[in-house]
Amino acid sequence: MRRLLDRLRGTMSCGDVLKVIQSYIDGEINATTARRVAAHLEQCDPCADEEYIYGQIKASLARRRHKVDMDVLDQLMSFGERLKTDPNLGD
Ligand SMILES: [Zn+2]
């Protein structure tokens, strides 16, 4: 009965939440679904743990991406330096 009431109110099951948790963290689901996921996470510890873990993975990937960006930036800067010093490049 509780599940039926939950469904009528639009509350998501754990399975539903886990299916969209990555999109939720990436901000790629619509506002209505995001609100339902947030409501579920508030009262469901296992799903909140999943959100935390995915969040950590995303954060570490973001850090790695940031590092790559810095490497690219370094390459661009040394390329810029070469343009300034190499007479065969640029003018
Ligand atoms: Zn849950």
Domain boundaries, position 39: 2-85
Alpha-carbon distance of 61 to 19, in angstroms, equals 20
Q: Ligand 1 centre and the CA of 40: distance in Å?
A: 6
Residue 26: both structure tokens together:
């990436």
In the structure, ligand 1 is a single-atom ion and the residues with CB under 5 Å from it are 14, 44, 47
Q: Ligand 1 centre and the CA of 67: distance in Å?
A: 34
Count of other CB atoms within 10 angstroms of residue 58: 13
Residue 63 domain-assigned (yes or no)? yes
So what's the pLDDT on residue 2?
A: 62
Q: Ligand 1 centre and the CA of 75: distance in Å?
A: 46
DSSP letter at 88 equals T
pLDDT-derived band at 10 (thresholds 50, 70, 90) equals low
**pTM for the model:** 0.60
Total domain count for the chain? 1
CATH code of residue 16: 1.10.10
Count of other CB atoms within 10 angstroms of residue 12: 20
Q: Is the pLDDT of residue 7 over 80?
A: no
Q: What is the pLDDT of residues 16-41, one digit of tens each?
A: 999 999 999 999 999 999 999 999 99
